[in-house]
Structure 1
């Protein structure tokens, strides 16, 4: 494994943790949420710098199904991050810098981009999961069937949590106000979002396997 690959994995790991924590607003609170958002933007920039060749080859070569889906997903994530960065800086209360904008508009923008970003970034991770699994194959001791069963159970929990938390209504702005149950146990909230993240990671992994014919 090259140093560049190690740096990519490290940044992706921190981005995954940051993404999960950013969804836990009811636990972290406004101030921590803002600083996590800045950290996420910095990591995202680092991720793009390390993967600059993707942009260089964007208009080169043939576009097969997998590449089309991957490109749409990546562009979607870029748009979500731009929307989150802008709206976050307009709504910022604790950061030493901010920009002006329509509070009503950016609140809706931040809401939609947050939940779409959560789904798209989780799927993006899933679409690259096989590469990561291959790198660490010799460290994995669980039987394949057992691991699959665990992932199916977690994904089913993720579907339940996704519906129970009305995620679609936030993504489509059917509901413009997020309901936070501050009395819910912190560990339960963490497990809910973790299961939803794993759900979309598994969906991304499944799509990749089906399109590329991996077994």
Structure 2
């Protein structure tokens, strides 16, 4: 595998894990949350430097539905991450307590709500690159050909993840967390493992949904092209 691709995969995987840890504020506490935030910020900068060619190519080439969706999602994810970073400094109480700020509750509300949207956008972002990720991981594991039984098993697992993810979304009131700020927290009193499983499953909804929607769009495009 290309070394550059391997480095990007490691950075992206690390960012995904740290994003999940950062969201577990009720479990980790404030100090760990802020430290993870700083590390995420540094990795985010590195991620964008490694992918700087993508920004240069935005205005070049032809636009189709997939590319428009990809650019829209990526830019929204970029904006959400920048907003999270900017809003984190005024509300910091451990690493940057010397930064004076007024109306810190407003900044906290922006920070929390944007974080949940970034979580969803991150999953969609991963879903749009799922084929590339799977192919890269397959090469790393020496898997170079498709297998019908393996495909069926993986699709069954994907369905189970989505089903559980939908239930976890309701249990954790994700729809409210994306629209309402609760200064007293959401009262989740569970283990770190349960938190991780639930949020990975919620991510699975958007990763799988994005992946299969794009496959459907691509199939329709091929059918339309073949009829010409």
The TM-score, its normalising length taken from structure 2, stands at 0.86
CA distance 1:86–1:174, change in 2 (3 Å)? closer
Structure 1: state its 5+ residue gaps: none
Structure 2 CA distance for aligned equivalents of residues 201 and 9 of structure 1: 16
User: Any idea what the Cα deviations from partners look like across 1:31-58, whole Å, max 9, x if unmatched?
Assistant: 1011111111111111110110111111
- 1:90 and 1:98 in contact (8 A); partners too: no
Structure 2 CA distance for aligned equivalents of residues 206 and 171 of structure 1: 24
Structure 1 CA distance for aligned equivalents of residues 183 and 26 of structure 2: 17
User: Any idea what the Cα deviations from partners look like across 1:164-210, whole Å, max 9, x if unmatched?
Assistant: 2111112122756531323x233222211121122222122222322
Matched residue, 2:42 = 42
Matched residue, 1:103 = 104
Matched residue, 1:155 = 162
Partner-residue secondary structure (3-state), 2:29: helix
The TM-score, its normalising length taken from structure 1, stands at 0.91
Matched residue, 2:118 = 117
Q: Larger Cα Rg: Structure 1 or Structure 2?
A: 2
- 2:91 and 2:104 in contact (8 A); partners too: yes
Matched residue, 1:180 = 187
Count, aligned residues: 213
Structure 1 CA distance for aligned equivalents of residues 181 and 34 of structure 2: 25
- 2:89 and 2:96 in contact (8 A); partners too: no
2:216 to 188, 207, 210: 210
2:201 to 180, 183, 195: 195
Structure 2 CA distance for aligned equivalents of residues 55 and 97 of structure 1: 35
Structure 2 CA distance for aligned equivalents of residues 174 and 110 of structure 1: 10
Matched residue, 1:146 = 153
Asked if 1:136 corresponds to 2:140, the answer is no
Offset, 1:211: 2.4
- 2:161 and 2:205 in contact (8 A); partners too: yes
Query: Which range moves more in the overlay, 168-177 or 127-136?
Result: 168-177
Q: CA RMSD in A?
A: 2.0
Offset, 1:99: 3.8
Asked if 1:84 corresponds to 2:84, the answer is yes
Query: Which range moves more in the overlay, 57-66 or 171-180?
Result: 171-180
